[in-house]
Amino acid sequence: MKKIILVILAIVLIITTGIYIIIPSSLQITSQVVIDASDVIASKFLIRENGWDKWWPGTKLNDNRFSFNKLQFDIDKITNSAVNLSFQQNGLKFGSSITYMSSADGMVRVTWYAQTKSSNNPVQRIADYMEARHIEEQNTRILLHLKSFLENIKNAYGYNIYISKVKDPVLLTSTTTFNSYPDMQHIYKIILGLREQAKTQGALETNFPMLNVNVNDEKQFETSLAIPINKVINTTGNSFINQMVPGGNLLVADVNGGPNTIKDAFAQVKVFMKDHRLISPAMPFESLITDRLAEPDTSKWKTKIYYPIF
């Protein structure tokens, strides 16, 4: 009988010792994803206070507290390279951090590291270990949602940005300099003149008018306007034919809104170009889909931004 008891005690001791060896007192969990996005985009949504509102898959409880599948996460501190969070589940209190790092191939690696102390009780230590593994799965799901969000171009940059081809290579163009940003009356007066010039020579307008406004060194507004036409014609006055390469690449952004929205879209397209190592050999332009003279409500304006690229 004593031998049986001793054997049982020995087995219990071996199992208990094994638990302490296999499951350390400090439980660490790591979740990681590689995202096809730049570190600039990752920082935009990770370390900015209003960024989490846009991608978090669960519920925002207040400015610094978020929940996901019954887990509550508190943002304790945000730095230039990391977000420190704390959370607890079934008596386990975790300290954690989310960091990001760009890779050589233009992607970004996001890592969520968390740590907690497990119980000294061997049975509870097993339960703590299982709970930690479950939380690790939850954290991975959250990061996978972030990956899906950031790899959507419109989510990442705020606009639908894509590559198209030059379909209207012949542009009847006019350039005028103004002392201030030209109003719609001046813009559409020039467009009307280009249309009349094309019509007199039997040329057809093939797409919407195009606009580029650039501020020169003298703080003047150099305004280029063009209409795509179906053939080369003789020009008069300050108009000229500008020809693009047929089938050349254009980076396009769809924009709904007025001047401030269009300005922001231009900025985001530039970020996109930098992130994807694209170079523009020529000036960008706006395609005026909405007749801005006829539609005074700028929120209803529809515009396409075009950047020639290679």
Name beta bridge partners: 60.
66
Q: Which are the contacts of 174, defined by CB distance < 8 A and separation ≥ 6?
A: 190, 193, 194, 224, 225, 226, 237, 238, 239, 240
What's the rounded Cα separation, in Å, for the pair 50 and 222? Answer: 37
Query: In terms of pLDDT, which residue wins out, 99 or 19?
Result: 99
Average pLDDT for 215-241: 93
Residue 259 vs residues 184, 271, 297, 298: alpha-carbon distances, Å:
12, 19, 11, 8
Kindly report, residue by residue over 133-165, the tens digit of the pLDDT. Answer: 899 999 999 999 999 999 999 999 999 999 999
The confidence score (pLDDT) of residue 120 equals 62
* CB-CB contact of 100 with 109 (8 Å): yes
Q: How does residue 11 score in pLDDT terms, banded at 50, 70 and 90? A: very low
Domains and CATH numbers, the chain: 23-151 (3.30.530.20), 160-309 (3.20.80.10)
- Would you state the torsion angle of the CA atoms of residues 14, 19, 22, 27, taken in this order, to the nearest 10 degrees? -160
The confidence score (pLDDT) of residue 302 equals 98
Q: How does residue 9 score in pLDDT terms, banded at 50, 70 and 90? A: very low
Kindly report, residue by residue over 234-287, the tens digit of the pLDDT. Answer: 998 889 999 999 999 999 999 999 999 999 999 999 999 999 989 999 899 999
Kindly report, residue by residue over 107-125, the tens digit of the pLDDT. Answer: 999 999 999 987 667 877 8
Which H or E run includes 134?
helix 122-150
* CB-CB contact of 1 with 107 (8 Å): no
The confidence score (pLDDT) of residue 24 equals 63
Q: How does residue 189 score in pLDDT terms, banded at 50, 70 and 90? A: very high
The confidence score (pLDDT) of residue 6 equals 43
| Amino acid occupying residue 35 | I
Task: Report whether pLDDT(12) > 70.
Answer: no
| Amino acid occupying residue 113 | Y
